[in-house]
Structure 1
Amino acid sequence: MSESNVEINEDDILDLKQIIGAMIFGANRSLSIKEMKKTLRAVAEESGGPAKAYATVRESEIAQALEHLIVEVDQLKGGMHIAEVAGGFRFQSDPQCGIWLRHLLDKGKPSRLSQPGLETLAVIAYRQPITRAQIEAIRGVSVDHVVRKLLEMQLVRISGRSELPGRPFMYATTHYFLEHFGLRDLNQLEEVNPMLKRRDVAVSVATAQKEATQSEQEEAEEEAEEDLFAEEELLEEDEAVEVEEVEAPESTEDAEDEEKPTDTP
Structure 2
Amino acid sequence: MTDEFIDETERAARVAEYKRAIEAIALVSHDPVPHELLAQLLEQPTALVEQWCDELAGIYRQENHGFRLVRVAGGIRYQTADDLTPYVERFLLHDQRARLSGAALETLAIVAYKQPISRAQVAAIRGVDPDGVLRTLQARGYIDEIGRDDGPGQAILFGTTDSFLEKLGLESVDDLPAIAEFIPGPDVVEALEHGLRVTPEIDVTTAGPQQDD
Listed one character per residue, the Cα deviations across residues 65-112 of structure 1 (whole Å, up to 9, x for unaligned) are: 111211222344443221211110011234344245436xx5137724
**2:95 is aligned with 1:107:** yes
Match of 2:114 in 1: 127
Measure how far apart 1:177 and its partner are. 0.6
**2:105 is aligned with 1:118:** yes
Measure how far apart 1:161 and its partner are. 3.6
* Cα distance change on mapping 1:151 and 1:193 into 2, 3 Å: farther
Listed one character per residue, the Cα deviations across residues 215-260 of structure 1 (whole Å, up to 9, x for unaligned) are: xxxxxxxxxxxxxxxxxxxxxxxxxxxxxxxxxxxxxxxxxxxxxx
Listed one character per residue, the Cα deviations across residues 178-201 of structure 1 (whole Å, up to 9, x for unaligned) are: 11111111111123159xxxxxxx
Listed one character per residue, the Cα deviations across residues 156-178 of structure 1 (whole Å, up to 9, x for unaligned) are: 12234434333332211122111
TM-score between the two structures when normalised by the length of structure 1 = 0.55
* Cα distance change on mapping 1:144 and 1:193 into 2, 3 Å: farther
> For residues 54-65 of structure 1, what are the structure 2 equivalents within 5 Å?
57-65=44-52
Match of 2:37 in 1: 35
Of the candidates 165, 184, 189, which is equivalent to residue 152 of structure 2?
A: 165
Q: What secondary structure does 2:146 align onto?
A: strand
Output the CA distance in 2 between the equivalents of 1:110 and 1:144.
Answer: 19
**2:27 is aligned with 1:25:** yes
Contact 1:79 1:97 in 2 (8 A): no
Contact 1:17 1:68 in 2 (8 A): no
Measure how far apart 1:126 and its partner are. 2.8
Contact 1:102 1:109 in 2 (8 A): no
Listed one character per residue, the Cα deviations across residues 49-75 of structure 1 (whole Å, up to 9, x for unaligned) are: xxxxxxxx3222212211121122234
Contact 1:30 1:90 in 2 (8 A): yes
Output the CA distance in 2 between the equivalents of 1:102 and 1:65.
Answer: 32
How many residue pairs end up in the alignment? 168
Contact 1:136 1:143 in 2 (8 A): yes
**2:88 is aligned with 1:98:** yes
Match of 1:67 in 2: 54
TM-score between the two structures when normalised by the length of structure 2 = 0.66
The one-letter code matched in structure 2 to 1:189 is L
Contact 2:18 2:42 in 1 (8 A): no
Gaps of 5+ in 2: 1-10, 182-213
Q: Where is the helix percentage greater, Structure 1 or Structure 2?
A: 1
Instruction: State the identity as a percent.
Output: 29
**2:90 is aligned with 1:88:** no
Measure how far apart 1:31 and its partner are. 0.6
Measure how far apart 1:26 and its partner are. 2.2
Output the CA distance in 2 between the equivalents of 1:141 and 1:190.
Answer: 26
Instruction: Tell me which structure has the larger Cα radius of gyration.
Output: 1
Output the CA distance in 2 between the equivalents of 1:185 and 1:113.
Answer: 24
Q: What secondary structure does 2:61 align onto?
A: helix
* Cα distance change on mapping 1:191 and 1:63 into 2, 3 Å: same
Output the CA distance in 1 between the equivalents of 2:101 and 2:74.
Answer: 24
